[in-house]
Structure formats: C-alpha cells, structure tokens
Structure 1
C-alpha cells in the first residue's frame, strides 16, 4: 500500500492546529536501554527498544512498513522504489531515491551493497540471518547503475516474502562508515575489506554487553554515528540512560519533525511508570508519552486492539499498539545437561504448553488487553494469514493439566510427586527419551524479566499449574538487558557453558511476513534456543518459495503442535498513554515502530 505525505500525516482527526516546536518526553519501558547503535545488530540485542525505538529513528531501512496501521509497505516513506522483477522471477532490481545523508552524501547503490557485503561475510553476527537464505541464496548481486542494485536468486521465491523478509532487512550505510582505524576502506565494493571494517564499527560503539558502556555518552559526537539518514539524530545519551534526539535538518524524506526535541527517559518498574504518568503531564518532569502497565488497567475491555476507560484519562488518551507479533518463552535446546535432552522431547514441550492457562490470564491478569497466542502467526492485525483451523479456535494444545500429566506418565515419568521422577529411561515406546536417566527429577529454571507485575503474576500461575502435572518451575527475576545478554543463543564450549534453560523477556518477535525462517529454521539468527526439526525446515522452505497460503497454513499448524517455544498471551506492545495536548500520534505502527516526527503540540 502506497501512502502519500498528506495521508500519513492526516490519518488522525486533528483537534487543533499543529504547532511547530516543543519537547516531548517519553517514559520508556524498564529493563532494555539501547545497547547497539550500529544497525547490524547481533541476535542477543535484537529487541524492540534497541532497533525500533532507537536505531530506526536515525538509520532507515530500504523499505518502510506499517505507517497506516496495517502490515503493509509504504513506498512513499521508503528509500527505495518498488522492486521490479525479471520475467523468469529470478532477478529483482531496486532503484534508490537520491536522499541525502546528514553529511551531504547522496544515497546510492554502493550504500546498499555495503550492508549486503557485511551480511555476506558477517551474517552469523546479524540477528535476522538465516543460513541458506539472504544473501546465501543469491547467485549474483551488484549495481546496474549508480542508483540501482540487482539481486539474482538461486530459484524462484515468493515475491512477497523477498520484499518483506529479505529486502526489508537492508539498511543502507554511508561511505563515511566504510573505514578502519587506519583510514578509508572499500567494504562496499570488496569483500576482503569487510572483516576489518566490521571490527572497527563494532569497536566504535563499545562493549554491547556492558551495562555501564561509557561509549554511549560519546555516540552523539562520533564522526561515525552522527551521520544519519532518518528524520532524527542523536543529541545525547547519558550514563543514567536518558536518550535525546533532535531533528536531522538534512532529512530527505517526507514527514519532517515538528518537534524541537524528543527525549526518552528510563523507568525501572511498571509502578514507577504509572506514578510518573499519574503525576500529570504538566507536573515536575512532565511526561507526554508513556504506557499504562497492564497490571494497572482498572477496567476490562472486550477488544484488545481498542482503548477504553482507564485511570489516567484526565490527562492522557489510551492508544493500544497492537503489533504484528507473537510472544513466547524460549527453551535452550543447546543446554548440555539433561534439561536440554528433556527439551528435545516433543511430549514434554506439549505438556509444558498445556499447563499455561492463557485464557484465564487474558481475563484476570491482562483485563482483556490480550488474546491467546495459538501458534507462530499473529492474529492481529487481521490479515487472513492465520490458518483456517487456528482461526476457528482449533488449537492442538489448549490448557489441560490432566493431559499434560498423562503425556508425562505415558513417557516414563512418575507424576505422583512434584518434581516428577523418571522411572522408565530409554528410547523406546513409553520411555523418557535419549539422555534422560532413571531418577532424574523434572525441575526447570525459568528466568524472566523483572519489573512487570502482570508478567510476574503469569509466571506464578504457570508455576502453580505446572506443579499439578509434576513439572517444577524454579522462577528467577532478572533485569531485562542482563537477561537477554546472559540467556542468549549459544553453543556449549570452554567459554560458553550455555546453561540457561527457559528465558522469558516478556516479548517475542515482530514479523513482516510470518513464514518462520528467522525463528524456527535450523541455525537461524532469531532461533534463540537452537530448535532443529527436519520437517519444520521443509515446511518453512515451502512457505518461502510460493505465495500459496496453504503452504503457510501447513507450516504454522505443525509448529503450533510441536511447540518449539512456549507461546504466551499476546498483548499490545504498549498501551500508550498520550497527552491530550499531543496530535499526530495515530495510526500506530503494527511493527512496533514509533514516528515522533509526526507528533506535534496542538494549538489551543
């Protein structure tokens, strides 16, 4: 869907005339301060806060999605023109608009190839890389003109998939970044230079796993990171975690900012967020944008996509950001202990999914601002891509403690005690499975992000219901960015014990096209737990090589039944609370993006 400048700005009814200038302060969710500014992000830092609320304001991807509130591409806000395909369906050509970088460089084909070359050499360090797919599935690529690139694929793929899941990853990078400590390099044209340039850029941002990384305070003045393509540039980043943006005066795209400044301030718990908002938009340290913690929703809603009565309505409008995403907990299949062997057993994963009471949580914990997540394709916004069986409510693993207990009992566990005990080891019918010894107790460590009362309530109920089936869940709260850094994709080795078990960061994955190769294909960058299944790989491959919806349906029904992750209730990324003095906020982006360049104060 193409959206014009006026449509993007005018989709929301204007209650007053836009006013130029002013500062908007946003109180951010706790636990995940931006850790990576280089938009080639490793899997362990591939989070909404880091990418969609930080990098994307400064460095725009080749294509922009979701500006109208629907999961569609907006060519008007994109750096590239619509892709053009060859008659045989193998080669796609992309023309680059002559946008300017903030240092005066003109956007060009070389800037696209710079990123693609990084992916070609360092793909394993990018969070959305999938072995065998982009750029591994290219037989040729390069520039056909100074402002045009081409990609020739090894076979015919779904053109929607190529646009939404392959080309959508590309973030053009300026020539100013193509250097090492010794001086200019040519990673944009020569793969031999990529390793050194990548090492230089990674070092220039500091240690991305260090919570006290002082490099962040120097990012705004860096000759590297101060060169931006988006509507905003970084003004400052304090050690306390306050991030301040100002407009990029050289931004070439439409929708240039109205505001003078956009500030993101950290919060440390849902309770702190609520108290800041309750103090009022005009109090000391006023906040114009925040979120209503789900645990503070005072009245139930029948529609998780729409705002209703709320305790902050005197000063704020409630705007749910219903994202095109799924939510889940990751299991570490690479854990070298018996726990990893247990996760490899489908019957156990099915039992664990069956003791998570999503429907009660939606009603009693989330006050209706959530919905049951049945499988790997989002139900909202409605797209028609959910399989007919799941659309009609036929989920293979509903809440059923008795069934969970039976699955364990039928596979060699004594569930008369908690934790259950393995009494029938071995690999035959009715036995526990390879690597699970007699006498082993079914006790699993579940670490989850702190500061979220609704999540804590869900975890405590999950622990209680799991115990009824013989599964002991040992709960541990951890600060968000520490959790995802420690419980990251890993391979056991001398420097990586890889001992985490279940990780819940209160999120999951935001999709463009929900074909699953990023999350569930063997060795994919977003496959945090290293799940591997030959049938899943086969179904994923079929779903990306055809636009036939039946391929996507078959894949998602299989994944829902296999439970490679534990699906959790899905809820809006944020229940935004927006000052009634602020306009231009809606429609909200279903991919988790924010657009402060569209926000403005309304003239009284």
Structure 2
C-alpha cells in the first residue's frame, strides 16, 4: 500500500462506467449550471476601469472577532442546509455554505488553487492498493461534533446507508447510474478512524478521488439516525427500508426553512460554523464560530452573515450603504469602480474553474451538418473568443479551448489547451467550406458536391442543401446577445447563415434541454452558463457532456473519444485526461466559448484573508479577518 502522489491536490490511478453510460435526469446538470454575474448583467460597449489590479497587496495585521457579511448573486438564496442535495436543491452556493457546517471528507479548492485541499479535509490522502481496486482512508482524530462526540467511521457508514437509499429512490441529486455507490463492491471498517472501499474494478485514483470520494460527508449518526424529531436516534438506517425513511425525514426537515435556526438536527455540526439565525422570507442567514471546532482552519471572525437580493441594483445599494462587506459590482455599473476604490473597497474579478460550451444538435434536422468535422472546425474558427473577452465581457473572463478553461496554474488543464487549435479566421472557415463542396453565396450557400470523401459535402447532405443552422441563445444577457450576433455576422461573411433564436433560460432548458433523447430541433444551443467543477465533479473529463448516453452535448458520440474517456478513467495519472481533453478540443465536440468571471467582487478594505479567491466560488469566510 502506498500513498498516491498528488501534484494537483489529487492522487493518481482508474476506470469508470459512470460518467459515460446511462441516461439520467436532466435536472442534475441543469441545476449545476448558472449565469455568472458578469455574463448575466454585462452591457456591451462599457469600458473597463482599473478593476483587475485594484486589490491591495499590503499585509495588514489581522485581529480576531467581528462579524463580516457577503452577498449572494441576484436571485440566489441559501435555502438547503442538508449536505445531501435532492434534485430541487442542487446549487453550489448552497453546498459551499453547508460545507462550513458539515465538513466533507475531502474539501475542494483553496486560495486560488484547484484540486483537493487536504489541509482542510477530515480524511488524509487515500491509499490505493490491490491494483487500484481498494481504497483505504484514514480519518483525522481531531474532528468532533458540536455535541462532543468524535467524528468516526460510524458517521461514514451512516452516509453510505443514506446515499444508497437516495441512489435507489432517485432522490440524491449527484447520483448517476454506475456511480457511487454502484462502483463499490463492499466496505470494511477497520476501526473508529479507518475504512476501506473495495471497488468493483480498478479505477484511476485521479478520477475516483476527485469525482467520487469528494461526495462523502461524515454525518452525525448519533443525532440524525431517526425518522422524526421526537424519535430517539437508533439504528433506523441500518436497513435499506429504514435508510429510505431516515433520508425522507431529513429531506423534509431541510425543506423547513422556518426551523433552520431552531431545529436540533442542524445544531450538531463538525465544521467551523453554526447557524444561529435565519429569515425564511429574505434568506438572511447569520452564523457564529463553532466554539467546539477542533479541525483545521479555525475561524478568526466571531461570525458572518449572508444576504440575498432580488436584483443587482438592490445589492449595489446595500454595498454603498455599508450593509455588506463582500459584494459585487454589476458590469453595467463599472463606472462606479473608482468610487468604491476611493471609499474603502477593493475591486477584484473572481475567476472560477468553470466551463462554457455551445452545444451542437447531433440529432434532428441539423445532424447531417454538425456531424461533419470540417463544418465544426469552420464554426469554431468563427468564435472570436478574444474579442468577446475584451469587449462584451470587458476582460472579466477566461479563454476556453476545450473541456477545461485556462484557469491559471491548474494541472487539470492540458498544456495543449493553452493554444487555440482553430484561431478566429473567416478566411480559414470559408476555405474549409469551399474545399468540401459548398458554393459560397452572400444570400444562401448551397452544397454543389454531395457525397462522401474529400471535396464533398458529406453523407446525408443532398445537392442544393442550404448551409443554414439555427442557434438558440439565452436571454436577457446583453453580453451573450452581443457574442451571438458577432458570431452570426462572422458566419455570414464565411458563407454560413446562422438563424438566431433568443430564448429565456428556462425555455432553453425545456426545449434544447430535452435533446437527447428527443430530436435536437436546433443546430447550436448557447446557454451562456457555466458548468461548474468542484465538490462532485473535480476532474473535468467532459464525460457528463460527451460520453455515450449522456444528455448534455446534444447527443454527441464518438467511439474514439469514448475509448479515450475510458482510458482516462482506467489508467493512472493525468496524461490520459490530457489526451481526451486534446481530442475533444480538436474534434470540436461542442463549440468552445469564452467563460465569464463569476463576479466582480467589491470587498471592504478592512476585510482581509479573502484573496486569492476560491476557484469553485466558495467564499471561505473561515479565512477572513478584519484589520487590527
């Protein structure tokens, strides 16, 4: 048995039949997508102020105590406290809050770093053995629940009992067929602080640690193993039927927002914070430092508060009034940057390790077009990412040439993805079309050389077929509309007619989001939203988009890419991950699109410890303190 090296904050070695096989509820991934504040509010044509370099680099002396506050994005509300999300409550801003109450076995992200943060984790680095079919995990001995009971393998066993019930009943949001617990053959518990997962076959520790072990939360069995508030905590979850009843009870209690501050269930925590006040109408939440917390990263603050706002304007008013210490500046109000900088605030763009893909419709009326690699290459040549970044996003974002964006320093990004394989070029796009049998016209280009092979339009495309593709994009983001219009204009110059079809975000999900299994009655779907990596999908293989049987990705399937995915799951290290990322990028499985920043953070200068920002959009208030 050896500890797995972890240059990226993860271990190394694998296989998976889970990200890539069976159909799943679309709600799973739909709720993990969100507009960034920048992309959702940006107004095209605004000039950047000096935001990116405005953060103070001084090293003030911190003091203990004080209560800080932060604002969630417009419309976001902390409204799910249980660290086992159901389908209706599966948001990163909820899980990031609950992580401060109930520590996951493995904590993801840190100060500007991707990967697992072992220093803040209850589990020590996992030990893989038996040709990567066994994983032994040791718990740190210094974690206790706030009622004084140590965190032990009993709490791990309780998690697996509830997870199995949620997976069987379809209640547990992260679950997909083939994933945990289906990939575990058995679990043995060697004592209070050690357990071993016996897997159904060998998995790559890079993938398994990042995309499976990060699901595990020790849960307080002594307090939660019950089916009603007045019931005594027993071994109710020790049977499948009992576990279902316990999980149903916990889900019901987590939905009772009016009892968050008083429910005894939520008083038993092992994280650095405990909830003391909650308003179910405004979603205003107040937390205090947990005096019995013995783990790493003890809070310096006495407490913190979360505020929710129905609009960016309301949040901005609260920021100016001094109600919140950590807020955000809508891009439409970048002219106020200097005001905030001269009135006691730092302004800092918040880059996150998220992805952004314009899906292509591989079923339905446009399938014969998007099936052609040369056409996908031509379309990618027309995505002017650098222009979108500098103008519509005002520099607040990252370039994205594959399944992972160019987040600085992340080892999950293949070195090849730092270079655009299809740089913006109308001439190259036009050349690809002409060389494959298309007659370019200022009105409507048509296929003049039908058939397969070099110089032909491709199978399924008849003579005279128009080069026309429908493109849905989400409203009301003016920045996204500007990007879609610029793309359509470039396509027109190359000979491709893009029929723009703006739709509300919910309509996007209810129409584009039902393909597959239904036909994709669209050619391109640009959500302008971000697929977030993090607590449940740390390693960005894009298996949730581009593997066989998956919903996202418009029905894309490529046997070569599938084999590369399987290799990335099967074989140790990051090299196979890089290979599949490179292949997806060159194949243009979807159109790679610029990623907008999470938000433009505006932070009171008296507050320290918040920067560098967490790439998974976790505020991490335990790091915060006020200047002395």
Whether these two folds match at TM > 0.5 is: yes
Helix, strand or coil for the counterpart of 1:70? coil
Q: Deviations over 1:277-305 (max 9, x none)?
A: 4x3xxx3x532111233455569xxxxxx
Contact 1:236 1:245 in 2 (8 A): no
Q: What is aligned with 1:326?
A: 355
Aligned residue pairs, count: 559
The answer for unaligned runs of 5 or more in structure 2 is 1-5, 8-56
Flag the 1:447–1:491 CA change in 2: closer, same or farther, 3 A.
closer
2: CA distance between counterparts of 1:186 and 1:331? 49
Among 143, 147, 152, the residue aligned to 1:108: 152
Q: Deviations over 1:460-518 (max 9, x none)?
A: 4344445552111211344xxx579757965779xx99989725253222253333434
Question: Which is worse superposed, 262-271 or 169-178?
Answer: 262-271
Q: What is aligned with 2:582?
A: 557
Among 316, 321, 340, the residue aligned to 1:312: 340
Flag the 1:484–1:491 CA change in 2: closer, same or farther, 3 A.
closer
Among 57, 60, 70, the residue aligned to 2:103: 60
Helix, strand or coil for the counterpart of 1:359? helix
Among 396, 401, 423, the residue aligned to 2:421: 396
Post-superposition offset of 1:535: 2.5
Q: What is aligned with 1:262?
A: 304
2: CA distance between counterparts of 1:41 and 1:426? 50
Post-superposition offset of 1:528: 7.0
Q: Deviations over 1:348-407 (max 9, x none)?
A: 65454443211111222233333321111332222455434333x2x3333344555676
Question: Which is worse superposed, 13-22 or 467-476?
Answer: 13-22
Post-superposition offset of 1:559: 1.0
Flag the 1:261–1:115 CA change in 2: closer, same or farther, 3 A.
same
Post-superposition offset of 1:61: 1.3
Q: Deviations over 1:314-353 (max 9, x none)?
A: 22113333333323345576x8x53678666656654544
1: CA distance between counterparts of 2:446 and 2:78? 43
Q: What is aligned with 2:11?
A: none
Helix, strand or coil for the counterpart of 1:379? coil
Does residue 508 of the first structure (1) align with residue 545 of the second (2)? no
Contact 1:129 1:524 in 2 (8 A): no
1: CA distance between counterparts of 2:520 and 2:304? 39
Flag the 1:114–1:426 CA change in 2: closer, same or farther, 3 A.
farther
Flag the 1:442–1:244 CA change in 2: closer, same or farther, 3 A.
farther
The answer for unaligned runs of 5 or more in structure 1 is 3-11, 207-214, 300-308
Helix, strand or coil for the counterpart of 1:246? strand
Q: What is aligned with 1:140?
A: 186
Contact 1:93 1:148 in 2 (8 A): yes
TM-score of the pair, normalised by structure 2: 0.75
Does residue 289 of the first structure (1) align with residue 346 of the second (2)? no
Q: What is aligned with 2:207?
A: 161
Question: Which is worse superposed, 589-598 or 510-519?
Answer: 510-519
Among 455, 472, 490, the residue aligned to 1:446: 472
1: CA distance between counterparts of 2:234 and 2:367? 44
1: CA distance between counterparts of 2:89 and 2:520? 17
Post-superposition offset of 1:20: 1.0
Post-superposition offset of 1:582: 0.9
Post-superposition offset of 1:418: 7.3
Where in structure 2 are the equivalents of 1:243-254 lying within 5 Å? 243-254=285-296
Does residue 93 of the first structure (1) align with residue 136 of the second (2)? yes
1: CA distance between counterparts of 2:521 and 2:529? 20
Post-superposition offset of 1:555: 0.5
Does residue 471 of the first structure (1) align with residue 498 of the second (2)? yes
Among 532, 542, 557, the residue aligned to 2:567: 542
Among 38, 45, 48, the residue aligned to 2:82: 38
2: CA distance between counterparts of 1:379 and 1:107? 38
2: CA distance between counterparts of 1:345 and 1:216? 51
Q: What is aligned with 2:3?
A: none
2: CA distance between counterparts of 1:358 and 1:135? 40
Q: What is aligned with 2:393?
A: 366
2: CA distance between counterparts of 1:489 and 1:116? 31
Contact 1:329 1:508 in 2 (8 A): no
Q: Deviations over 1:121-164 (max 9, x none)?
A: 54465554454444333332232223322112234333333322
Flag the 1:489–1:80 CA change in 2: closer, same or farther, 3 A.
farther
Helix, strand or coil for the counterpart of 1:338? coil
2: CA distance between counterparts of 1:456 and 1:373? 19
TM-score of the pair, normalised by structure 1: 0.78
2: CA distance between counterparts of 1:146 and 1:520? 41
Contact 1:338 1:436 in 2 (8 A): no
- Work out which structure has the larger RCO, using CA pairs closer than 8 Å and 6 or more positions apart in sequence: 2
2: CA distance between counterparts of 1:126 and 1:425? 49
Among 3, 9, 16, the residue aligned to 2:61: 16
Q: Deviations over 1:224-282 (max 9, x none)?
A: 445433222332143234343333344332333333442222344555555554x3xxx
Contact 1:322 1:381 in 2 (8 A): no
Q: What is aligned with 1:219?
A: 260
Q: Deviations over 1:10-47 (max 9, x none)?
A: xx86413414123x232222243345433333577544
Contact 1:342 1:436 in 2 (8 A): no
RMSD value, Cα? 4.1
Q: Deviations over 1:522-551 (max 9, x none)?
A: 3569x4755443322211221133334432
Post-superposition offset of 1:566: 3.1
2: CA distance between counterparts of 1:483 and 1:219? 33
Question: Which is worse superposed, 28-37 or 497-506?
Answer: 497-506
Contact 1:419 1:467 in 2 (8 A): no
2: CA distance between counterparts of 1:437 and 1:116? 58
1: CA distance between counterparts of 2:171 and 2:515? 14
Question: Which is worse superposed, 12-21 or 311-320?
Answer: 12-21
Contact 1:128 1:518 in 2 (8 A): no
Q: What is aligned with 2:19?
A: none
Among 213, 217, 235, the residue aligned to 1:171: 217
Flag the 1:143–1:579 CA change in 2: closer, same or farther, 3 A.
same
Contact 1:237 1:244 in 2 (8 A): no
Q: What is aligned with 1:232?
A: 273
Flag the 1:447–1:196 CA change in 2: closer, same or farther, 3 A.
farther
Contact 1:40 1:126 in 2 (8 A): yes
